[in-house]
């Protein structure tokens, strides 16, 4: 597996990115799949031919992401799930009350404007 660097377009801006693949063709196909065919601006270049500090930053990023994997969270107990569901329903009911009050206030304001004419 080799490391390749290519320039891709994301939201109208160009970025250099690294990718690990067997060959340049595979690297290009992977980049096209990730960013879209028209968004791969330059062909993937073997990392040895590119600026070393940029590759060092990419290696550091990958090393950090491998060292700090995300740990799974424990599932909630049925009691905790019930409490969480009740709390969510309370929040939804409070939001519905706010919406209803705002709607009623708007209706009152529209009526007062109509009677003022």
HSE-CB for 111 with a 13 A CA cutoff: 6
Q: What is the pLDDT of residue 19?
A: 86
The answer on 92 and 41 residing in a single domain is no
The answer on 38 and 82 residing in a single domain is no
The answer on 6 and 58 residing in a single domain is yes
CA-CA-CA-CA torsion sign (57, 59, 65, 67): negative
Q: Which of the residues in the chain have pLDDT under 50?
A: none
Q: What is the pLDDT of residue 74?
A: 86
What is the pTM for the complete model shown?
A: 0.43
Residue 21, H or E segment: strand 13-21
Q: What is the pLDDT of residue 18?
A: 85
Examine the fold and report which residue of 67, 84, 102 is the final residue of a domain before the chain moves on: 67
Q: What is the pLDDT of residue 5?
A: 86
Q: What is the pLDDT of residue 52?
A: 59
Examine the fold and report which residue of 67, 84, 101 is the final residue of a domain before the chain moves on: 67
- Helices within the chain (DSSP H only): 24-35, 52-67, 78-116
The answer on 63 and 89 residing in a single domain is no
Q: Supply the range of the domain harboring residue 88.
A: 72-117
The answer on 97 and 59 residing in a single domain is no
Count of domains forming the chain: 2
């Amino acid at each position: 597996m080799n490391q390749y660097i290519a320039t891709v377009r994301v939201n109208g801006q160009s970025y250099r990115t690294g990718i690990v693949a067997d060959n340049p063709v595979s690297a290009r196909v992977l980049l096209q799949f990730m960013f879209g065919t028209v968004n791969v601006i330059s062909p993937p270049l073997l990392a040895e031919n590119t600026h070393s500090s940029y590759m060092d930053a990419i290696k550091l990023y990958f090393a950090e992401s491998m060292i700090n994997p995300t740990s799974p969270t424990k599932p909630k107990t049925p009691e905790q799930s019930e409490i969480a569901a009740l709390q969510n329903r309370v929040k939804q009911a409070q939001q519905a009350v706010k919406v209803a009050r705002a709607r009623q206030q708007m209706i009152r304001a529209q009526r007062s404007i109509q009677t003022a004419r």
